[in-house]
Amino acid sequence: MTYRFSGLVAAGAIVAAGAPALAQTEVKIGYALAPDSHYGVAAQKFEEVVTEQTGDAFEFNHFPSSGLGGEREVIEGLQLGTIEATIVSSGTLANFVPDTGVFDIPFLFRDLEHARAVLDGEIGQEILAKFDDVGLHGLAWGEQGFRHITNNRNAIETPEDVQGLKIRTMENPVHQAAFNAMGAAPTPMAWPEVISSLQQGVIDGQENPLSVIVSVKLDEVQEYLTLSGHVYSPAMLLVSKPFWEGLSDEQKEAFETAADEAASAMRGFVDEVETTGVETLKERGMKVNELSAEQKAQFQEEISAAYEGYYETYGQELVDSIVNFE
Ligand code: PAF
């Protein structure tokens, strides 16, 4: 396994010393987080299982920590065939397959079990299949956990506390609508710009799951963490369609098995951080508060203003069928 941190310049340009004479197919896999994050662990599992099943047919080169750019750029690279694989959040996925945005609706899922069952079931798999129409191939749904708000302005307990809060959201219209409905000032921004924007005070806060907050040490730039769990954060293991079409049937099977195991590893990692993350962040000095059921209901009430738009875009029937999924 090779990690490359220097970005596009290195991509494809380096042949490892002592590489076997037989041509290997390069798999550049890019992701936004560090090798020891839930994405890194999944990417390693993906490589491990593909290699177990295909021998040394593929050479994996990992580009963690946004080494190939923001998530949108990486997905575009997959479409062009210049990058083979990625693990991404649902941040920009709706820009490629609009239906994906339905999973970004706040307060849609009761818990992780509910979300995983929907994504692995018919609804999730139908949406995954739509990536084939846009130059991509969706292999499996992974996840990051439920998203929570961090900021430097004040502890958040009621919707009044987010009024005018300059909060970075992903480049995701569903999330932006929700924060607008809450009276915040959402600022969509690609992930690679977020830490410096927090440091410089361009934005007051951001929202991400514990898996991300712990991994990127957001406690170093954020004072308050509010366990709002306002929205589930799916992730996806995607490959380039041109790359996928060049694989034999056996190789495709190996990639599918590997993606399923990678997604399980990612979920296992998230389960672990969900139990230890809050303590870790408190130890690192963050001021943490958890919304009570009543406080959460107030946020839900505020966000209900955005639901009309969600029903229009995705259809109330689909939204209800996800909410009521047993
Ligand atoms: O906030 C985001 O953009 C995503 O959650 C992140 C951190 C890039 C992981 O996919």
As averages over each run of 10 residues, the pLDDT of the chain (326 residues) reads 55 44 88 98 98 97 98 98 97 95 97 97 98 98 98 97 98 96 97 98 98 98 98 98 98 98 98 98 98 97 95 96 95
CA distance 302 to 295: 11
- Give the nearest ligand 1 atom to 191 CA: 3
CA atoms within 13 A on the CB side of 269: 26
- Give the nearest ligand 1 atom to 32 CA: 8
Distance 122 CA to ligand 1 centre (A): 26
Between the alpha carbon of residue 165 and those of residues 114, 191, 206, the distances in Å are 30, 18, 10
Distance 68 CA to ligand 1 centre (A): 14
Distance 262 CA to ligand 1 centre (A): 18
- Give the nearest ligand 1 atom to 31 CA: 10
Distance 232 CA to ligand 1 centre (A): 12
Q: What is the pLDDT of residue 289?
A: 98
What is the sign of the dihedral through the CA atoms of 93, 111, 120 and 64?
positive
Q: Give me the architecture of the 21-323 domain, per CATH.
A: 3-Layer(aba) Sandwich (3.40)
Q: What is the pLDDT of residue 3?
A: 82
Distance 253 CA to ligand 1 centre (A): 29
- Using CB distances shorter than 6 Å, the residues near ligand 1 are 32-33, 71, 88-89, 91, 144, 170, 191, 208, 212, 233
Q: What is the pLDDT of residue 21?
A: 54
- End-to-end CA separation in angstroms for the chain: 40
- Give the nearest ligand 1 atom to 216 CA: 7
The pTM of the full predicted model, rounded to 2 decimals, is 0.93
The answer to whether 111 and 181 are in contact (CB under 8 A) is: no
- 94: DSSP letter: G
